[in-house]
Every structure is written in C-alpha cells, then in structure tokens.
A and B are shown apart, each in its own frame.
Chain A
Amino acid sequence: MSMTITEKIIAAHAGREKVQPGELVNVKIDLALSNDITAPGAIQEFAKTGVDEVFDRDKVVIVPDHFTPNRDIKSAEQAKMVREFAHAQKLTNYFEIGQMGIEHALLPELGLVLPGDLVIGADSHTCTYGGLGAFSTGMGSTDLAAAMATGETWLRVPSSIKIIIDGQLQPWVTGKDIILFIIGQIGVDGALYQAMEFEGTTIDSLSMDSRFSICNMAIEAGGKNGIIAADETTRSYVSERSTRAYTPFVSDGGAEYERVLKYSAEDIDLQVAFPHLPSNAKEINSVGDVEVDQVVIGSCTNGRIEDLRIAAKILADKKVASGIRLIIIPATQAIYKQAMNEGLFNIFIDAGGVVSTPTCGPCLGGHMGVLAAGERALATTNRNFVGRMGHKDSEVYLAGPAVAAATAVAGKIAKP
C-alpha cells in the first residue's frame, strides 16, 4: 500500500506497517522541545504525572529564547524555574544564554533533528524541521508534559496536500516569498489539520535555510506539519552536524493526497503580507505607498545566514532612511559569529541598523522592538496578527529579507 512521507514517518514511530489519514495513533518521539514560556506549564504538569525523571534526558530539549535575555522580573523567574528543572533532570540539551539561539534555528544547526525523525514541541513553529524531511509539529505544554514522562504522544494521522513548484525563481525571491504566496492562495486555514508536502524542481534548488522558512510557516496555513523529503542538500547539511544514524523517507508514487497544487516559480514575485493575517499576501508591485517606522530582520522564519547575507547585499554602502529603526537579530550564536566574521555587521551598523543577541523578542511583542499605538513595522517574522508586535493599534507587514532591507533604506515598503 502506498503512503506519503508523513504517513511513513508516523507509521514507523507507531510500530505499524501502515497508517491512514484520520486514524489516532500512539507514537514514540525522538525529541520533545519547549521554551521559556511553554516549559513552565509543562514542568508544572509533568510534576503531576507521578514520574520523577524525564523519559530520556538526551531527548528533552529546552531552549529559553522567547523573553530572554530576561526582559523583566517575571520572565526572569520563569527562566529560572526552567533552568532549575533542566539542571535537576540533567538535561543534555538545555541551552543557556551564550549557547542559546532561536529554538527552530538552533536544533537543526546542532544536528539534533535528522530526516525521518518525529519531533514534538510546545511551540507552534516546531513544524520548521519538516525542512529536513522530519515529521515535526507543535503542541501545548500539557501534551509536552505527558511526552516528557512517557516518550510518547498521540497523533491523528493527517491527510496530505502536495504542493509542487517548478521552475527558476526570480532574483531576490526566497523560501519566505514561496510560503507567503502559498498561504495567500489557500488561506490561513487552507491546510487545517493537514500535512503540507512540498516538491518540484524549485524546491530541489532551495538552500536548507529557505526550506526551513517554508516549513516554518506551514502552521500559518493551519497545517499540522510541512515537509520536504531529504535530498543531497539535506544529507550534506546533516552530515556536517551529526553522526547519528537516520532513516530518510520519501512518498510512494501512488500515495494519496487530499489535493495537489501546482505553481510555477516564475509566477512567484516578492511577497508582502498585509495586516492582520499572513494570508493577506500581495506582490511587491501592488503594495503601493506604505511608510514604516521599524524593520525587523530575524526570527525562526528568517534569522539565518542566507537572510542576513541577502540583507547585507542590499544594505551595503546604503543608509537606513531617516527615522527608521532597523533591528537585525541573528537567530543563533553560530549565525551571529558567522555574520560577524563575514563582515555583515559592519554593513548593518554602517547603514544605521542595530544587531541584537539571538532572541524571539519583537516577533511576539516581547522585547527588543515592541511597537507603540499607530506604529507600523515590516518584519521577516511569521505573524502579523492584531497586536502581535506590541500595541493592538500597531501594524505588522510580513516579507522576506530582501524586501525588509530595501524597505529600511526607502523608509517605505520597497523592492530591492
């Protein structure tokens, strides 16, 4: 019987030959992830399970990245509680400031997720690891607590949507534009409860960084997971990072899909998602005059080296427009160091931008760039909901790194 890559990974972790969409199955997990705002709830609930130790101290990962370095006393107290739990449980993969990066950039970078793995995380953007050909999905703190205790979780096997993109991308267009375009086509619940499987010659040609950006935003279409089967690009990425054996999966030729969507890369221009939904995507040429107060380049969607290099190319020998605040947040320490060594920080600082230590920070209105009433930001982040970056009367426009950098220079939304 034919299966999709998502069904195969779930079946393998359920100890089953085969699973079908709609079935509820119990699966073994390879990794259980949480952060400084979701771990406290998980730890509290874990204490009620009657289990003293987590199921595997190598497989429970905690990354304090949202409100860290601590933004205030309350977040400091949450971070402290998480740290104490990590130490008491002797977790191998707890990352303190200095090692910490934005979780969904950090885990792949450290080789903690490999093709064919099944990962759950108390963070909705856990779906990012689909870029590696893994099944990964977000859940709440209580689900995570149960998984930390048992090493298992329940899943409803999702049906799959296949999204095929063929052809060559236009200049400056990256994974972010592809996913904003697709969400614009299918809507914020266009893939509700479903797996979004991406393939085609365009996807084959993409860097890992762009593949992570695409799978990262599967949740913004309501998807359970996004997934791109591992290929040579993936294998080369993981071989530099891990020696652990892994089993990659690919979809069978006769696998069944809820629907198949086909796009041509030539039709995907630079995208901007207008407030207040990621699905309000427009082509850059139809944006019109939209002045902004702040530009943020960073987040689990676009804080990787490819994003910073693109931004630097556009910002080189340019100045940020008067009155515009440009905040650049490399997603991990390694990316930070790499960008610094490549001279990108000189470009950012000379242009009039600031470079921050890794944090989710402004993406969810935490710190490092919260907006006042009436202010408007263009950001490479993933959500533009009402009040997402601060005051409920502020606005967030979403785009990729090229549009973000060009916007910082122009003072209004612009293309490079």
Chain B
Amino acid sequence: MKIQGKAFKVGRDIDTDIIIPAQYLTTFDAKELAKHCMEPLDPKFYDKVKDGGIIVAEENFGCGSSREHAPIALKGAGVGAVVAKSFARIFFRNAVNMGLPIFESTEAVDAIAAGDDVGIDSETGVIDDLTTGESFEVASFPDFLTEIIEAGGLIAYTRERVKSENGKNRK
C-alpha cells in the first residue's frame, strides 16, 4: 500500500484523551468521531487533514485509554498513517486491528518537518520525505501481525480460524 500526505507534527505523549476526548465516546461512527479528533490540541485538525495527512509524532503516541475510538477517529479524519518514535502498546494493537498504518522511526520523525509531503510504501517499509528527498527505512512487523493485517484485520483472521476449527466445544 502506498500512502501520501502532508506531515502534521506533534510532540511526545499524545494521549487518547487528546486524540478523541472521552465525552464523545457515545458512538463508534468514524465520521462523527472524526469531527472531534485532536480537538484539545488543535480544533482545526479535522480541516487540516481531511484531504489526507500523516501524523509525525515523538515518543509514546496513543498513551492512555484502550478506546478503539482513537484509531477510528484518526482514520475517519483522513489520517493516512502515523509515524512515531514509539507507540503506547494498546494503541499499537488497536491501530493494527483497525487497519490504521503505523510506523516506528526515530530518524524519520527527526528529519520530517511540519507540512512536508510524505510518501510511505508499507510493503517495502520506506518512508520518503518528498519535500527534501530524504528516505528512511522502517522495521517490518513480526510475521504474525503481518498475517493478521493480510487477513484483513483481526476479525477476518478470527473468522477464518473459527471456520477452520469448525465446531469448537462450547459451554
């Protein structure tokens, strides 16, 4: 998959209450959640990324709650990918499960400036800063996670598994 967008730079410890404040957690609707995405940080965030944006973050992106609304809101708002120095672990799982592409690269985060055009090839694991011409390689996911992603997410993966086990013992 190839992803392209303008870099939206954020700092470290961007928590899930910033990504989508808890008061809006009465829906799982991506469009509804998207309107309030990153609201405490930048009320105009939605307008800025709606035509495609790539979040470029420092350490510990997505810390805090387990709300899956966070990756749903980001995707709904038009964020094509998040590149961070590190991710909080529940957010990492949720992003994989929701199909929000995420990449870890300290070099890329340090080099990419706000507003740069960024292109990412998720298959080769290469991030290009199209504004400066610099390229960065990111480590690939473990095979098992790639399997989940390739199956179309965790639910599709589970559906296949359940089907192949056909008739488990149930209480």
Contact = CB atoms under 8 A, between A and B. Distances in A.
Interface of A: 24, 37-38, 40-41, 44-45, 48-51, 53, 55-58, 66-67, 72, 74-75, 77-78, 121-124, 126, 138-143, 145-146, 149-150, 154, 188-189, 192-193, 219, 222, 224, 277, 364-366, 370, 383, 385-388, 390, 392
Contact of A78 (B13, B26, B63, B171): B26
B40 A392 contact: yes
Contacts of B63: 188-189, 222
Contacts of B68: 38, 41, 122, 140-142
Nearest to A71: B26
B26 A56 contact: no
Interface in B1-41: 13, 15, 17-18, 21-23, 25-28, 39-41
Given A40-B28, A53-B170, A140-B97, A150 B21 contact: no
A215 to B, nearest CB: 16
Contacts of A57: 171
Given A44-B28, A277-B13, A140 B93 contact: yes
A49 B158 contact: yes
A192 B40 CA distance: 24
Given A41-B68, A222-B89, A392 B155 contact: no
Contacts, number: 149
Q: 8 nearest interchain CB pairs?
A: A74-B26, A140-B94, A364-B22, A392-B40, A140-B68, A189-B60, A142-B97, A385-B17
A140 B72 CA distance: 11
23 contacts: A24-B144, A41-B68, A41-B69, A49-B158, A53-B170, A58-B171, A78-B26, A124-B65, A139-B90, A139-B94, A140-B66, A140-B93, A140-B94, A142-B154, A145-B154, A154-B144, A188-B60, A222-B60, A222-B63, A222-B89, A365-B22, A387-B17, A387-B40
A365 B86 contact: no
Chain A facing B: main interface SS: loop
Given A139-B90, A386-B17, A37 B67 contact: yes
B64 A124 contact: yes
**Is the interface on chain B under 10, 10 to 19, 20 to 34, or 35 or more residues?**
35 or more
A222 B25 CA distance: 22
Given A41-B68, A222-B60, A366-B23, A193 B89 contact: yes
A142 B27 contact: no
Contacts of A44: 28
Contact of B142 (A24, A45, A193): A24
Contact of B60 (A78, A122, A192): A192
Contacts of A390: 23
B52 interface: no
Contacts of A138: 66, 90
Nearest to A366: B22
Given A38-B68, A57-B171, A50 B26 contact: no
